[in-house]
Amino acid sequence: MSKKLESTLLNMVLSLVIISMVMSATLAFVYQKTKGPIENAAKQKEINAIKQVMPEFDNDPATAKIEKDGVVIYKLTNKNKLVGYAVKTFTEKGFSGHVEMMAGFLPDGSIYNVMVLQHKETPGLGTKMTEPKFSGQFLGKNPASFKLKVKKDGGQVDAITAATISSRAYCDALQRAFEKIKSSADSSLVLK
């Protein structure tokens, strides 16, 4: 007959400790193996977003970036000539909170293109901010002369019907991006 381990508090605690140590080691191993590929995928996603909001550039965006208060500014060039700035911006003023965007600004300060990266807005309403019908009204506009507020608030932006809060959030994120470019160290190259 085999001996049966006595079910004591000490045996149960030892069993839980051993199981926890094995699982911790397994999780640490998996984390180390997947950390690099996950970081590379995130970087590639950001570079793809930059490519969608900017004209052609030939420098590495990661080597020419400035971070200010949660906003990331990428200075982009082509053959050593300034192409503009891609700005990863955000707002907390969305209907469902956080909205993250990538905005492209040309050297004169005008908006080249905008891409919503992340949001939790209401499907069928706030999600319309990703559609060209809404986002297209910003293209070619310079926030120095184009008031980035919805018309209801005295601005020049046509809000999305039944999604004014999402429209305001979009404008807020774009305005934040523009302000960060203006206050960046090399802002003399922009907004002449």
Is 114 domain-assigned?
yes
Is 61 domain-assigned?
yes
- Phi first, then psi: give them for residue 89, nearest 5 degrees: -125, 175
pTM: 0.77
pLDDT at 28: 93
Token pair in block for residue 36: 């690099």
Token pair in block for residue 122: 């209401």
pLDDT at 185: 55
pLDDT at 189: 43
Count of domains forming the chain: 1
Beta carbons within 10 angstroms of residue 151's beta carbon:
13
As a whole number of angstroms, the distance between CA 117 and CA 94 comes to: 13
As a whole number of angstroms, the distance between CA 187 and CA 70 comes to: 18
For the chain, what's the residue count?
Answer: 192
Is 5 domain-assigned?
no
Which residues constitute the domain of residue 180? 53-189
pLDDT at 5: 60
pLDDT at 118: 87
User: 130, 161 in Cβ contact below 8 A?
Assistant: no
Beta strand 97-105 pairing with 81-94:
antiparallel
Is 4 domain-assigned?
no
Is 8 domain-assigned?
no
Is 163 domain-assigned?
yes
Between the two ends of the chain, the Cα-to-Cα distance in Å is 91
Residue by residue, pLDDT tens for the chain (192 residues) are 556 666 788 888 999 999 999 999 999 999 999 998 888 887 888 889 999 999 999 999 888 888 988 999 999 999 999 999 999 999 999 888 899 999 999 999 999 999 999 888 888 888 888 888 999 999 999 999 999 999 999 999 988 888 889 999 999 999 999 999 998 755 444 444
Token pair in block for residue 111: 């908006």
pLDDT at 148: 93
pLDDT at 77: 94
Is 26 domain-assigned?
no
User: 86, 111 in Cβ contact below 8 A?
Assistant: no
